[in-house]
Amino acid sequence: QVQLVESGGGLVQAGGSLSLSCAASGSIFSINAMNWYRQAPGKQRELVATITRGGSADYADSVKGRFTISRDNAKNTVYLQMNSLVPEDTAVYYCHAFIEITRRHEYSYWGQGTQVTVSP
């Protein structure tokens, strides 16, 4: 089976930084787009950042200029560097990926989520 395992969440003061990692493991033929979502209490899950296999990235307007998504295809890992954090960034952050377990058989996978809390 395929698993996405996240790490790097925690508590940080406003203005600080955190770095999240998400490593995919298991029977993987290819990993296509990798994404970071977040969900705050009482709010819908929102897409924070996405990155293609070739490294093209897009961001939600709320995090542009502050967050950077990157990936290491050799390690099957996606990262989210979060700088200049504000309390509004507080949420559970979820790693997501479209993964081909065999050629032309792509499925959607989610990590377990990691809590990010930004204090005033």
Q: Could you report how far apart the first and last alpha carbons of the chain are, in Å?
A: 41
User: What residues does 4 pair with on adjacent strands?
Assistant: 24
Per-residue pLDDT of the chain (120 residues; tens, 9 = 90+): 899 999 999 999 999 999 999 999 999 999 999 999 999 999 999 999 999 999 999 999 999 999 999 999 999 999 999 999 999 999 999 999 999 999 999 999 999 999 999 999
Please enumerate in sequence order all residues whose Cβ is within 8 A of that of 4, keeping only pairs 6 or more positions apart, or say none. 22, 23, 24, 95, 96, 97, 109, 110, 111, 112
- Per-residue model confidence (pLDDT) at position 56: 98
How many helices (H) does the chain have, and how many strands (E)? 0, 11
- Per-residue model confidence (pLDDT) at position 59: 98
- Per-residue model confidence (pLDDT) at position 76: 97
